[in-house]
Amino acid sequence: MNHSFVFEGKTALPGLRGKYGVVTGSTKGMGLIIARLLVECGARVVINGRNTEPVYEISNEMNQRIPDATLPCPADTADFSQVQNLFKQTREWSGGNVDFLVCNAGHPIEDDLWETPLHAMNPDQLQHGFDKIRRVDLDGARFCSHEALGSMVEQQAGSIVFISSTPALTGYKGTPFTEAKAAILGLMRDIAREYAKHQIRANALALGNIQSGWYDHLTDEAKKEIAQESPTKRWGTKREVAGAAVFLLSELAGYINGQTLVVDGGKVIH
């Protein structure tokens, strides 16, 4: 497995250098690119995923270029005990600080749950299908926020970014996914209101058609067709998502709180 990583040291957003934080689901896709960009900005990042091998492989690769840039922490964020251990290791590494959190881990799209209308779902889909999506997307974000916020309150500083989707704003299809991603926005808003007095900010990204995840499983024809949905007539890149996430974590976004930034090329304008 080759995850090329080039650190040029040219990216600098204020308030990130020397800060410590966690990016969940950061062994591939958007999470990986977000972690790389944070490291490029001088941050120290916990690399997380459920599978041990890629977590250590990616962390070691980054650390070879920048010593102690990352900490490998395999964990299933849908399991609260594993999340507790994840943040215990984070605090031991950072000297107690948790400066930022990106809740990126999400359940991959499953065609049967994405394509089946709610009324046509069988009992197993209606219960277990919804449950497994919720556990990864919503429960994982809630568990990680719970653990990060304790440290952030002590510090009286911190920033959290949640990864959601445009269907959470507009509806589309794939009700289990839409429901979980919409609930994440509710979690974000509650945290933003409650913890602003502690100088902790919470924001979210609502992503449209991005070249990540399900994109890789589409035919070339489907990719071209879906690209036409955006006024820009193209797909968004993982780097563009990472740029938006890292901006929200930086001091440049210091007065932005409780907001959902849509990253979709203009398809959803509100």
3-state secondary structure the chain: CCCCCCCCCCCCCCCCCCCEEEECCCCCHHHHHHHHHHHHCCCEEEEEECCHHHHHHHHHHHHHHCCCCEEEEECCCCCHHHHHHHHHHHHHHHCCCCCEEEECCCCCCCHHHHHCCHHHCCHHHHHHHHHHHHHHHHHHHHHHHHHHHHHHHHHCCEEEEEEEECHHHHCCCCHHHHHHHHHHHHHHHHHHHHHHHHCEEEEEEEECCECCHHHHHCCHHHHHHHHCCCCCCCCECHHHHHHHHHHHHCHHHCCCCCCEEEECCCCCCC
Residue 35 lies in a domain: yes
Q: What pLDDT sits at residue 270?
A: 67
Digit-by-digit pLDDT tens for the chain (270 residues) are 334 444 444 567 889 999 999 999 999 999 999 999 999 999 999 999 999 999 999 999 999 999 999 999 999 999 999 999 999 999 999 999 999 999 999 998 888 898 899 999 999 999 999 999 999 999 999 999 999 999 999 999 999 999 999 999 999 888 999 999 999 999 999 999 999 999 999 999 999 988 887 777 788 888 898 899 999 999 899 999 999 999 999 999 999 999 999 999 999 886
The amino acid at 40:
E
**Do the Cβ atoms of 178 and 168 come closer than 8 Å?**
yes
The predicted model scores a pTM of 0.93
**Do the Cβ atoms of 212 and 30 come closer than 8 Å?**
yes
Q: What pLDDT sits at residue 259?
A: 98
List all residues 6 or more positions away from 24 whose beta carbon is below 8 Å from its beta carbon. Answer: 31, 48, 77, 101, 102, 103, 104, 105, 140, 144
Residue 58 lies in a domain: yes
List all residues 6 or more positions away from 107 whose beta carbon is below 8 Å from its beta carbon. Answer: 132, 133, 136, 137, 177, 180
Residue 189 lies in a domain: yes
CATH of the domain at 78: 3.40.50.720
Residue 7 lies in a domain: no
Residue 4 lies in a domain: no
**Do the Cβ atoms of 167 and 178 come closer than 8 Å?**
yes
List all residues 6 or more positions away from 111 whose beta carbon is below 8 Å from its beta carbon. Answer: none
**Residue 119 structural domain:** 20-263
| Number of compact structural domains in the chain | 1
For 137, phi and psi rounded to 5 degrees?
-75, -55
Q: What pLDDT sits at residue 85?
A: 98
Q: What pLDDT sits at residue 2?
A: 39
Residue 47 lies in a domain: yes
Residue 2 lies in a domain: no
Residue 268 lies in a domain: no
